[in-house]
């Protein structure tokens, strides 16, 4: 369990919090590039407790600034997108992409007031079909992380996102919890070929895990320069060890294991909107070729980790990615399926995860939990983030990996090796992306 002070530090992400300050030192995905049209409609978003508007200026540059005009706090959602900035429709104040007030037509011509007004605005960069922002204090901003999927052709990558109504970190914990695979996502009978085949077609790496008799994995977690490398070992009937290797990348990326042979990789990006809402970015990619229609169909049909069945859109922050299956309809729970076929009768891995993460409440009270050995990775990642937030707050220590963009270019893996063999050595050829790339490890 965590003490109340640690739980508060871990979960609170607003502008005046230690965790919020840590997250602001990393680049944050805002929207997909395709969502913004030059001179077109403005989008409301919320990041780290700040209501913002995202837009594309007429010159093509993506912009992100505070939603409320600093004059009389009218919403810039209704603002006019201009050549290189935004103009409030209430009194015509104009702002550049950097937030500087450029014009105050409602003030006398001799006024110098405009030069004294600076609106909240954050630099944006586009890579991998995503608009990224840096909300921290450093200028120039640190380099973007070299996440593999952001460096590939667009047809190699499938991206979706959805809002979840819970704290960002309890959602992230689900992304590094390898022991729940054999329960939440599993059939009641591993010999039920129809169900298992359906699971295999919808997943990359789950099928073998739900068939393995050993449902109590043993964990080994190693700190890395970019986060943590997580190994979960399951015993096989043939005496060998089946290791599912996950990645945690600072500060909010998780990467579940790939299948033994598959080259397809998946990752979540858990971006806090505020303390009780998170945008769950889901990314699937193939390093070497375009994804096929057959590989994407299960996700489009709602069986995989992506969830793209949304409620009718609203203009509220991220109001166009609220899921159709949600708390109000029990996430589409099929009680007959629950009784006869599946450990959990909710259809689709992504919806199952969302339902359980939201069921824990808006913010988990970790003073009441009872952790076991299967929670080793969760304990380590909590400590990694708490230590980093405190080190930044108390000593000004730069956050891990923020100045090492190449270290983020890694993958997850699964390997079968003789009992007692070194899982890190066995998995490393699949983990590293670039030949000769070094992953800096620090065993506890």
- Token pair, residue 202, equals 């919808």
Residues 419/241, Cβ–Cβ less than 8 Å? yes
CB atoms within 10 A of CB 34: 11
Architecture category of domain 27-134 in CATH: 3-layer Sandwich (2.102)
| Predicted pLDDT at 56 | 98
Backbone phi, then psi, for 315, in 5-degree steps?
A: -95, 5
Instruction: Note the pLDDT of residue 208.
Output: 53
- Angle at which helices 376-395 and 4-11 cross, to 10°: 80
For the stretch 140-170, what's the b/e string if a residue is b when 16 or more beta carbons lie within 10 angstroms of its beta carbon?
Answer: ebbebbbbbbbebeeebbbbbbbbbbbbbbb
What pLDDT is recorded for position 214? 65
pLDDT of residue 242: 93
| Segments in the chain below pLDDT 70 | 193-214, 435-436, 443-444
* Contact (CB, 8 A) for 176 and 254: yes
CA–CA distance, 262 with 43 (Å, rounded to integer): 37
**For the chain, the helix, strand and coil percentages under 3-state DSSP, each to the nearest 5:** 30, 25, 45
Transcribe 201-238 into DSSP letters. Answer: HH-SSSHHHHH-S--S-EEEEEEESSEEEEEEEEE-TT
Confidence at residue 259, expressed as pLDDT on a 0 to 100 scale: 82
Q: Is the backbone of residue 66 left (phi > 0), alpha (psi -120 to 50) or beta? A: beta
Q: What pLDDT is stored for residue 164 in this prediction?
A: 98
pLDDT digits (tens, 9 = 90+) for 370-398: 999 889 999 999 999 999 999 999 999 99
Sequence ranges of the chain with CATH classification 2.102.10.10: 27-134
Give me the residue label for tokens 């505070």.
Answer: 66
Q: Backbone dihedral region of 184: left (phi > 0), alpha (psi from -120 to 50 degrees) or beta?
A: alpha
DSSP letter (8 states) at residue 323: B
pLDDT tens, position by position, 290-348: 999 988 988 888 788 899 999 999 999 999 999 999 999 999 999 998 998 888 999 88
Q: What is the DSSP letter of 33?
A: G
pLDDT at 148: 97
Question: What is the rounded CA–CA span in Å between residue 366 and residue 127?
Answer: 37
What pLDDT score was predicted for residue 98? 98
Residues contacting residue 69 through CB under 8 Å, at least 6 positions apart: 75, 76, 79, 88, 90, 93, 119
Query: What is the value of pTM for the model shown?
Result: 0.94
Residue 39 burial class via C-beta count within 10 angstroms: exposed 0-12, middle 13-18, buried 19 and up: middle
What pLDDT does 189 receive?
81
């Amino acid at each position: 369990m965590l003490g109340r002070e640690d739980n508060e530090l871990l979960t609170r992400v607003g502008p005046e919090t230690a965790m919020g300050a840590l997250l602001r030192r990393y680049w944050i995905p805002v929207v997909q590039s395709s969502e913004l049209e030059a001179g077109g409609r403005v989008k409301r978003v919320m990041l780290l407790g700040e209501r913002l508007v995202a837009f594309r200026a007429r010159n093509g540059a993506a912009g992100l600034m505070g939603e409320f005009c600093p004059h009389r706090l009218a919403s810039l959602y209704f603002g006019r997108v201009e050549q290189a900035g935004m103009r409030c429709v209430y009194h015509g104040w104009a702002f550049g992409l950097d937030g500087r007030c450029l014009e105050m037509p409602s003030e006398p011509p001799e006024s110098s007031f405009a030069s004294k007004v600076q609106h909240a605005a954050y630099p944006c960069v586009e890579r991998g079909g995503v608009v990224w922002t840096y909300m921290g204090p450093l200028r120039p901003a640190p380099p973007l992380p070299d996440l593999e999927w952001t460096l590939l052709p667009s047809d190699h990558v499938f991206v979706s996102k959805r809002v979840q109504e819970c704290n960002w970190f309890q959602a992230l914990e689900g992304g590094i919890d390898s022991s729940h695979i054999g329960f939440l996502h599993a059939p009641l009978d591993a010999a039920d070929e129809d169900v298992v085949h359906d699971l295999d077609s919808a997943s990359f790496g789950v099928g073998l895990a739900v068939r393995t008799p050993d449902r109590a994995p043993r964990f080994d977690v190693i700190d890395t320069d970019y986060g943590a490398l997580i190994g979960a070992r399951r015993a096989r009937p043939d005496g060998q060890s089946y290791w599912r290797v996950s990645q945690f990348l600072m500060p909010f990326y998780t990467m579940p294991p790939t299948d033994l042979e598959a080259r397809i990789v998946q990752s979540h990006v858990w971006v806090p909107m505020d303390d009780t809402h998170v945008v769950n970015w889901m990314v699937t990619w193939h390093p070497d070729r375009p994804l096929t229609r057959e590989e994407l169909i299960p996700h489009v049909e709602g069986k995989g980790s992506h969830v793209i069945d949304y409620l009718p859109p609203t203009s509220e922050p991220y109001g166009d990615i609220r899921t159709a299956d949600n708390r109000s309809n029990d996430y589409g729970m099929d009680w007959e399926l629950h009784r006869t076929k599946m450990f959990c009768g909710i259809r689709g891995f992504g919806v199952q995860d969302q339902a359980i993460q939201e069921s824990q409440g808006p913010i988990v009270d970790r003073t009441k939990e009872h952790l076991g050995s299967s929670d080793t990775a969760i304990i380590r990642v909590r400590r990694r983030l708490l230590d980093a937030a405190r080190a930044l707050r108390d000593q000004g220590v730069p956050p891990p990996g923020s100045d090492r963009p190449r270290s983020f270019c890694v993958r997850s893996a699964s390997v079968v090796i003789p009992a007692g063999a070194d899982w890190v050595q066995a998995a490393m050829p699949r983990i590293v992306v670039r030949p000769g790339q070094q992953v800096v490890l620090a065993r506890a």
